[in-house]
Structure 1
Amino acid sequence: MTQQIVERYGDGVFNHAVLTEDERLSALTQELDPASFGRLGSLPFRSDWRCLELGAGTGTVARWLADRCPQGSVIATDLDLQLVQSRHEEQANLSWLHHDLTRDDFPPGSFDLIHARYLFCHLRSREHDLSRVLGWLAPGGWLLLEEPASFPIESSLHDAYRQTSMGVFTTLAERIGTDCRWPRTLHEHLNRAGFTEVEVDVTYSVVGGGRPMSRFWELTVDQLAPDLREVEGITSPMITETLARLRDPEFRDLGMATIAAWGRRPGSTA
């Protein structure tokens, strides 16, 4: 029997070798970093924390964590590290690790903080993977998850933008298993796992007018255009109109929301 090959994020779609992928992820980083740093900064940091950054992307969050924990350590992981290795200098307490979250483990209780952004929604085995990650936290350790949500786009009054953008989620669901409705459950996952001090937050993005999220979404739609033309109800003129609106300095609409949830594993770090 021939084994079916299942596509993952980065195998084909969003591969780091795509010429515009660095720019696409850099635009997303510019959009998301201020809120991420604010949420992380609200935690009761200690300078000796052991931190894990899952899905390092362009490496800005890992670098921020390393600066906050000079007596601690940060391990930043990704399936493809070329975007971080090409732009960041070496730092004694920061290491980059090629790591597949769905297959590779860490010993139980290894970390005082685990952060992941825009990662679990792209994993077909996200429920199982999240349960494993929870075990990597030390008693009293913190978990912060930030994931994209599609609901603001679903209510857009701009038909071409709405249908084309929702086609992005359909395409990603079919190709790599992405689910941008799943993040609405983050809070409940932490509650069911017995975490304490659980909080939830949401931030909204605006597209148009040269904003970072607009550029990120433009490059996303452009990269997926061949697949989008195969989605029922989406035409080439609709894709062209959407790209034009995203570049239009006068256009304004909502982009994806970011849902964040964080909490503390029961127990004491002392």
Structure 2
Amino acid sequence: MTTARLRQLGAGPGWRCLDVGAGTGTVASWLLREAGVAEVVAVDRHTTFLPGEPVDGLTTLQADVTSDRFGPDLFAPGLFDLVHARFVLMHLPSPAELVEKLAGLLAPGGVLVLSDAVDLTTDAAGDTPYTRAMRAMWQGLRETIGTDISWVPRYPELMLAAGLESVAAEIHVPPLVPGGPLGRFWARTWDRARTAMTATGVVDDAAIDEAERLLDSPGYVGLSPGMLTAWGRRPARP
């Protein structure tokens, strides 16, 4: 979904790109190899998983987007044709300020693309082991590392407030099918987050085990959290 949207937004030859929270460099590599952009600056707090060997067009930078130094001290204003962040801002404080900061790095006509998690049904859905596990997961993430997905649906609004135009958004929710890859992903995620989840008091270990069994059951249907992607452009020069 990410690469298709970036291609539709015009990412291609000549573009200078900033990938914030680059992780393993998947998006940065795609931009260089498939989209053929001129340059990617891949930024992360920890660059361990980014390519260690030189890659043409790729610059890796260890930096914290929440730091006061992230901005004019590192980059000239208006430097990038694309600023991209996926599953980053949802874990950080002051998202409105971060959107404004990232928008300020765009060249005229440049595009800001933000993707983060949304959960459309957990709070409103019926009480099941699956929905309880999801509620406990989000609460545990919020209490331990500050994750807050309640801001994510407001990204288009924040982009408009930051002066961007042609703002739009889309949501992708992959299917949750018995024994499928998404179910296995959530089971692994819950296993890693068990301590934080059980600390909320919403679930115990037995409840998590029951929720994981439901993920393999043809008798259960549910809707997974998905990914919202929002984008907007800095106005071109008159």
TM-score normalized by the length of structure 2: 0.88
1:135 CA displacement: 0.8
Distance in 1, matches of 2:166 and 2:196, equals 42
The equivalent position to 2:201 in structure 1, one of 220, 228, 232, is 232
Whether the 8 Å CA contact 1:155–1:162 is kept in 2: the answer is no
1:167 CA displacement: 0.9
Q: What are the within-5 Å matches in structure 2 for residues 1-270 of structure 1?
A: 35-68=1-34, 70=36, 72-85=38-51, 90-103=54-67, 104-105=70-71, 106-157=75-126, 159-246=128-215, 248=216, 250=218, 252-268=221-237
Give 5+ residue unaligned stretches, structure 2. Answer: none
Q: Which amino acid aligns with 1:95?
A: T
Q: Which amino acid aligns with 1:256?
A: P
- Cα pair distance change 1:259/1:38, threshold 3 Å: same
Distance in 2, matches of 1:170 and 1:195, equals 32
Distance in 2, matches of 1:252 and 1:82, equals 39
Whether the 8 Å CA contact 2:11–2:31 is kept in 1: the answer is no
| SS of alignment partner, residue 138 of structure 1 | strand
More deviation in 61-70 or 119-128? 61-70
| SS of alignment partner, residue 242 of structure 1 | helix
Percentage identity across paired residues of the two chains: 32
Distance in 2, matches of 1:65 and 1:205, equals 24
| SS of alignment partner, residue 149 of structure 2 | coil
Distance in 2, matches of 1:56 and 1:176, equals 19
Q: Which amino acid aligns with 1:36?
A: T
Distance in 2, matches of 1:45 and 1:159, equals 43
Distance in 2, matches of 1:151 and 1:253, equals 11
More deviation in 153-162 or 35-44? 153-162
What's the C-alpha RMSD, in Å, of the aligned pairs?
2.1
Whether the 8 Å CA contact 1:204–1:257 is kept in 2: the answer is yes
Distance in 2, matches of 1:202 and 1:71, equals 26
| SS of alignment partner, residue 139 of structure 1 | strand
Distance in 2, matches of 1:257 and 1:69, equals 25
Whether the 8 Å CA contact 2:85–2:115 is kept in 1: the answer is yes
Distance in 1, matches of 2:184 and 2:19, equals 25
